[in-house]
Structure 1
Amino acid sequence: MATDDEETRGLSAELGLSLVRARLLGAPNPIVGKYEIIEELGEGAYGTVFCARDGELNRNVAVKVFDETATAETRAAIMAEAKALANFQHAHIVTLYEVASVDQSLYVVMEYVDGTTLARWEAEPGRTWTEILGAYLAAGEGLAQIHARGYIHRDLKPENVLVDGAGNVKVADFGLARRYVDRQEEVAPRDGASSTYFLDSPFSAPELRSGGRATERSDQYAFCAALWLALGGSLLPVRAPPVPRGLVRALSRGLQEQPETRWASMRELLRVLQPKSRRRAAIILSSVLFLIIGLSLGMLLSRERFSVEAACQATRDDLDVLDLDRRRELLDLRFPAEAPRIDEMIDTLRAGYQGVSQELCTLAMGGVTGSEQYLAQRTCLEDVRSRLGAMLSLAETDMTVTAVDVVTLLVDIPQADACRAASEFGATIGDRSILVQIRDIAPLRRRLAEAETLELIRRRREAGDMIEALLPEIHRAGDPRLLSRALTLYGTSLVWRERLGAAADVLKQAYELAFTHKADDIAVEAAAMRTHVLGFKLLRYDEAMASAHDAEVLIERESLPDVYSGRVDIERARISRRKHRIEEALAINRAAVRKLKDAVGPNSRRRLRPMTGTEPVNDFETRC
């Protein structure tokens, strides 16, 4: 037992000193209660853990000593809590045997786990993601049981989970120390004490960092954050771990900023994370074997039918190649306030893409992969995929991209109706098969989409440099639609560089090329931008109005959506403003704004591709 002057050092400090005496001087090991202290295992934020020997039951135990001086009220609360937990038995929770006190120091006696922490275990070389997931699932089972009994862990992290030599996983330090510290500070704060000193941990939920109360869902956040990092992911900046998309989606939901958007419970999360049962695997295996046998018989019976199916499959360029689900979860994590809107837009794009893909499958099975309709729609899908991929890549790697940027870029991507209405545009690019043509220019299409993405979020210098370097390669590829897109972007970049004469010439080339090859959407865009250069910048009003007329003829002839006529009307309004016809300018602008709002909804507040120009339309009336 400690002497009066030794008490000031605290029980854990005295035990440590006594162990040193025992080793150096041969003195007896210190005794706490009925436990002989053997060695110090570690020191944490709330106390020191020792390995001790229970002579009565002939077993080793872990003794955790708290050196804080508690009030009678605090001691009573912690004792009552510990007594409830002392009878709590679970395979994945360290068992609590006893709670007692020496003078004013509380200590708890727990199951001794002869092994290491989960943090050290998961860091060992050669660990696979499936092994790590298995260990965390075991820890999650323990955490779910704690929640089921009405308790909150409050400090879940890999250092507080133990793994023994046989690989058994047990959650430790489950809330006892945290409750003790919290209650003590609520009753009698110590000088310099802070109830938030633990909140700089990467496992602390956002609501805790802002002073909110701990809940089961804050434990869930800690669990998901720990597993996310263990699997190789990053939280700042957000980078998903290299594991299956379903696992990333499940963890991403548990990492949502708002607690109510996380999983309803740990049990629900574990059901999603849990690998499929052996029975399920057996069913799948049987189904696969049956399918293989069936396919083999089918191939023997009809090689021709198999060839048609293969051609059909070739049209299904699923968006999975973009790792869409994982990257969408990253967007949700970065922009939680806009997550529902972003998810809806991506879901709409995906559904439209799959619908057009299915229609192309029907064309392929009918043997019409060389038709104008097939070529136009297939290339439109390639545009969708390349632009969506460029947006996702930029948002994933560039932390300056905002939620509004993401929405703007998503609005710019062609919708299913646009792909269905696509005209024939590139049938003259060679005698090779359509699929080979599309495959060969795919890398150029992706790089062009990256440049367009940068221009859309007003990183114009980067976009201009990229398109200038890319343009010669696109010229050599010989695809008129791709080239007209590139020329339109290049002409736009020249506008921002104030090379206005050159910009007007390049945009004219883009318009003529797109018009010749029936790429009407690009032709209208090029004509509208040229109208802006000639009328608003160079004050060559007659030429500008002629360019606007060219665009309007195309819009009417091809019944293009109002977003295109709205784009041209914006430029006509600007010209009227330049000519000091203010009432006329306001009337045209208001009509254009109505068209654009009807076409793109609430996203019309930002400058979209069909509205490329020098100012958002909502600024127009103020300038007038």
Structure 2
Amino acid sequence: MNSTTRCSRIEASIFSRVAWSTSLCSLIGGDHSLGARCRRAALVPGAPMVHAPKVARASDRSEDEGGSEASRELDMGDMGDMGEDQRVELDGVADDLLRPAAPVRVAAIDAEHMRNAVAARLFGAAADPVRIGRYTILARLGAGGMGVVYSAYDTQLDRKIAIKLLRGVDEEQAHHARMTREAQALAKLSHPNVVQVFEFDTFRGQVYVAMEFVEGQTLRDWEPEAEARVAEILDMFSQAGRGLAAAHAAGLIHRDFKPDNALVGKDGRVRVLDFGLARGIDEEVDAEADTQKRSASSMAKGSASAASKTEASASGKGVLDSTDSLSAPLTRTGAILGTPAYMAPEQHLGQRADARSDQFAFCVALWEKLYGQRPYLGKTPRELAGAVVRGDLSEPESAAVPQHVRRALERGLAVDAGERWPNMDSLLAALADDPRKRRRRVALASVGALAVVAGLGWGFVRSQGPGPCEGGERELEGVWDDDTRAKVERSFLATKAPYAENAWQGTARLLDDYAEDWVDMHREVCEASVVRKEESPELVGRKMVCLGQRLTELEQLTGLLVDADPDVVSRAVVAAGSLSRIEACAKAEALLDSPVDDARVGQLERLLANANGRKALAKYDEGLEIAEKALALAREIGTAHGEGRALLLLGDLQTKRRDLDAAKQTLREALRRADVAGDDATRVQALTQLMRVSFLEHDLDTGEILAADARAALDRLGDAPLLEADFDLHYGSLAMARGDNQSAGEYHRRALEIREAQLGADHPEVAISLTNIANALTAQGQHDKAEAHARRALEIFEAQLGADHPYTAASHNNIGNSLLEQGRHLAWTDRARARPYFRQAADHYQQAVRIREANLGSDHPSVALNLHNLGEAQRLLGDDDEAEATFARSLEIKREHLGPEHPSVTMTMTGLGRVRLALGKTKSALDLLEQAAAARKGRKDSPDAQAETAFALAQALIASTAKAPAAEADAARERARGLAEEAREHYREAGDAYRGEREEVEAWIEAL
């Protein structure tokens, strides 16, 4: 291979990976063939880079019933990584315009490094190292408004470092001195949250700074874990804040703090960097700054007064009309004034910046990370400056941010610097002053050192109000106070769900009552100890632990409710009603077995409460992930009690996701850990959940054994009425599965009585018990009583949730079923009396269809279920044309979502086949019924369902023989008789509830 061929192949390889630019061409020059190729390329000098906006994706949300929903949000706020040629400078001319800066000349060091590398690739020679002083350049890392950053190797100290080569080689001496300010400022600091400077010197007339190499990412790019998002953000930003506080203590201010100017190392430590704007707090503003002040002040004041003025540059386009400039530093011949999105009002006005300007920028950055948007908004720098100077603080769309954090940030964002926090330390203290942490400290101490917690707890409550026990209300700050209520209400109503207003009212009532009960119990526990001296420190400690857990549950649930989607709103009332009962803390026999000094206990409680809240809101996948983390933490701590609770929650979530094998294994492990901890409450709940798994698997014998164990554990536990109600509910389901509908009804009535006594007659769980009783009564053939219970359930749901809530659709459907069955039985003796029942049933089914279409969409499987029932009512009314259309629509939806083999599809095929047979569409009817009968073969469908399909097919076969040859007709008749006899036996197996249908089949066989 000759040298020309070899060079051309290497050339092609290089240019397949390097994006063309005029800068690259100038680096290579004319000494190599690459330079000639550059000259031939049709390139536009100085063409700006184009950055696509980032797209932030919200996770798909799992649902109990219905499809998942994914949202996409366009993030236009993060433009900190724009190209160097998109940065802007402040122009000091009289019209105060901002215009694009000229492209910055690439540093000579880059040219040397590139030439050496290209020559080595082309001619096979080793690349000569490029050095700055004793440092060997390794790679270019990036560029900023003040210079270019390289990774380098310190040959003397054998370490990797970062070198920043400051721009300004051609500037006059005054400007050159300004360029050295970053190095001087950083050299004064030695703090773990500030990038360490090792050396600064000059290289070929340019100042360079050798500093700590931090492997990690910017604070902007860093993302927290979802389940502890706010806490992690506050921790990271507090580290950055301590770095700024250290700088201020050293007499320096940053003047350009933003998330891009803080690095998060792989060690989790945050370091503030880029003190390129830093100056001494006492340094006077020079003449150049005065010029900038006049220019910036004019621009900001023009913004504030909304002056109508055409902005234009030499290119004819005003930079003030570009959102790209909001996140880019403003420069003038090397003097950086700040980044518009993070600049304080005084900076926008060109006034002197001080440490409180850094505080303002810090609050902007923290607000942005917490809420996903900046506090002051504007599409252009002019609009932004106006919003900042006027103090037009934008309302965040939604975020579960504690109220004390919001208040601290609002003060830090004050327009008047004098109204901000006195210093960074004060701001950081306010951000850390979380009333919830005080609660957790008391609860944590209560876990083990009960004698100590008595003193801590009593001193704590005495400090909260005028009376020794009047501090409970303050503990609800940021958990369920006026501000949180308003956020939840806005969140609910913003979903535009038809039931949102009622769901909000019902949720608010339940949470108001819960909060009031918590305050009352807090006061009672305190007074029994402090005032009446009736209870021991040990018992007080147990009760305080219990109250702390309840408050954490409430806090985590309300945190989820402030960012609600329609599915969350639909389940919010039931979730609020499922919070652990406050009155149980009056006993609080069980103590956590965690070490008293283990701060992770509070984190464990928050994880458990958060996962529980997501479970109640049917966010099962999210809850499962958090429950797994809670389990890992409980094992790390070594608490059998906490481990058992985490396993119980994890098993419950696995059951709801129908991962039954995993659920059984998890719940059995929960039993073992509960035994180790002596925790009968967890043991009862684990056994009850295992009963449910047995019901779902139709393993009724195992269910009976588990029920006996659960009953024994309940007896040992003693007074636990709501656990009793849960046991009765699940045992009632097992009884129904066995066919013991009488016993099922009795157990469901016991659950109803307990829930009414414990929760109130209008609680949503009472309505659920009423629905279970209605189902048991329906199975017993007592359809009038079933209707009464279903109607009462509907009344509760409508009162608590609203008439258009999805739960009311289920009640309408159940009422329709009861009415349909009553009409069906009347029809055997008096069809005229049956018609009103069929008509009322159709009305309720139509209501169910309307509600579910409004909430779930017109093609949801639940809509198809109600459509099927409506079609059956129309068929019984003799409205066969309407019934055909209704059944056909139901079948189309079911086939699409459930697949052709699903039993529900078979049921609707049978209904449609019967209607078409009645309409004389015999061939179509026969085809449908043959498919339905074939699908039922090999499946264990219910006896009544099998009977209905078999008898309908028998009737269709007879109808199809009207014009058939004799032999064919005889064969069809014989097959029809066999099918009818099968139907008769299936109806006999189904019991007395289907006696009328059985007699109809017998009469048909007799007449055949």
TM-score (norm 2): 0.30
Larger radius of gyration: 2
